[in-house]
């Protein structure tokens, strides 16, 4: 039995219609991922994703920068002067004076000599928290006019009356102690600021000495 044959159109109009039908069929049967509409939508979606990701990354960087600038030492804290209370964490500090004129502490034969000169800061510290807290003299820092940083000289504090009174004291809530902390600085140096901390990791608070 012979196979049916596709009719051949001799009429120009019929041939044109057949060609148009064939083209439409080929277009309809084309895989979806090759269609122009799909490609256009994919490009638009990719652009949107890139823009959203870019904006998201920018916001994260800004937040990180803000966090970094807000942290650290007492750069954002209120600065006070002598005889003014300054709070950091559980402690309230009141610095009453600083003497940078001595190069010896104690009386012979029990005395110690500075490498340069001693700056002795007198202060009162009160526990304003609701738990006991240890006052650590080594957490306190001094600065001169050139913003050079000095640590305390705890060995020399033992030669002060009552060993300075402010060294490694544990203060209960509401209690206070009055004492002195010592800095051994180059001769001719005067401290202009103290940075006081209730612990080694606290933000600290600045007290101007001028």
pLDDT, one tens digit per residue, over 143-171 is 999 999 999 999 998 898 877 776 678 89
Please tell me whether residues 62 and 113 are part of one structural domain.
Answer: no
pLDDT tens across 168-192, in order? 788 999 999 999 999 999 999 999 9
How confident is the model at residue 46, as a pLDDT?
A: 75
Residue 1 lies in a domain: no
Looking at 37, 70, 103, the residue that finishes a domain is 70
What percent of the chain has a predicted confidence (pLDDT) above 90? 50
Helix (H) or strand (E) holding 37: helix 36-70
155 close to 181: Cβ distance less than 8 angstroms: no
Please tell me whether residues 60 and 140 are part of one structural domain.
Answer: no
Please tell me whether residues 108 and 149 are part of one structural domain.
Answer: yes
Residue 4 lies in a domain: no
Please tell me whether residues 60 and 136 are part of one structural domain.
Answer: no
Please tell me whether residues 91 and 64 are part of one structural domain.
Answer: no
pLDDT tens across 91-126, in order? 999 999 999 999 999 988 889 999 999 999 999 999
Give 79's pLDDT tier (boundaries 50, 70, 90).
confident
Paired strand residues for 141 = 151, 195
Looking at 45, 70, 95, the residue that finishes a domain is 70
Please tell me whether residues 169 and 91 are part of one structural domain.
Answer: yes
Q: Hey, which of 43-52, 73-82, 106-115 has the most confident mean pLDDT?
A: 106-115
Cα–Cα distance, 142 to 159 (Å, whole number) = 20
Two structure tokens written together for 66: 């803000």
Sign of the C-alpha dihedral computed for residues 97, 101, 106 and 110 taken in this order: positive
190 close to 178: Cβ distance less than 8 angstroms: no
DSSP one-letter code for 137: G
Q: Is 90 exceeded by the pLDDT of residue 34?
A: no
Which range marks the domain in which residue 165 is found? 85-208
Looking at 39, 70, 101, the residue that finishes a domain is 70
173 close to 193: Cβ distance less than 8 angstroms: no
> 94's torsion region: left (phi>0), alpha (psi -120 to 50) or beta?
beta
Please tell me whether residues 150 and 63 are part of one structural domain.
Answer: no
Average pLDDT value over all residues in the chain: 78
Which of 120, 102, 117, 107 lies closest to 167, judged by CA?
A: 120
- Whole-number Cα distances in Å, 71 to 129, 168, 203: 22, 27, 8
Residue 125 lies in a domain: yes
Please tell me whether residues 57 and 92 are part of one structural domain.
Answer: no
Residue 169 lies in a domain: yes
Please tell me whether residues 62 and 122 are part of one structural domain.
Answer: no
Two structure tokens written together for 4: 């049916």
Please tell me whether residues 204 and 123 are part of one structural domain.
Answer: yes
CATH of the domain at 131: 2.60.40.1240
Please tell me whether residues 41 and 90 are part of one structural domain.
Answer: no
Total domain count for the chain?
Answer: 2
Residue 2 lies in a domain: no
Please tell me whether residues 140 and 90 are part of one structural domain.
Answer: yes
Give 194's pLDDT tier (boundaries 50, 70, 90).
very high
């Amino acid at each position: 039995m012979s196979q049916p044959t596709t009719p051949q159109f001799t009429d120009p109009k019929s041939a044109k219609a057949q060609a148009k039908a064939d083209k439409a069929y080929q277009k309809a049967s084309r895989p979806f991922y090759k269609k122009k509409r799909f490609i256009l939508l994919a490009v638009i979606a990719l652009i949107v994703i890139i823009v959203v990701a870019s904006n998201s990354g920018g916001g994260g960087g800004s937040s990180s920068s803000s966090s970094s600038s807000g942290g650290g030492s007492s750069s954002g804290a209120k600065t006070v002067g002598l005889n003014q209370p300054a709070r950091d964490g559980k402690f309230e500090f009141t610095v009453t004076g600083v003497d940078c004129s001595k190069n010896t502490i104690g009386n012979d034969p029990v005395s110690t000599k500075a490498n340069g000169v001693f700056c002795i800061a007198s202060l009162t510290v009160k526990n304003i928290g609701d738990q006991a807290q240890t006052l650590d003299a080594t957490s306190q820092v001094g600065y001169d006019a050139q913003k050079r940083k000095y640590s305390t000289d705890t060995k020399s504090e033992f030669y002060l009356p009552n060993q300075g009174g402010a060294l490694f004291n544990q203060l209960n809530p509401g209690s206070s102690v009055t004492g002195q902390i010592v800095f051994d600085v180059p001769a001719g140096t005067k401290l202009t600021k103290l940075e006081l901390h209730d612990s080694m990791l606290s933000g600290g608070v600045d007290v101007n000495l001028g």
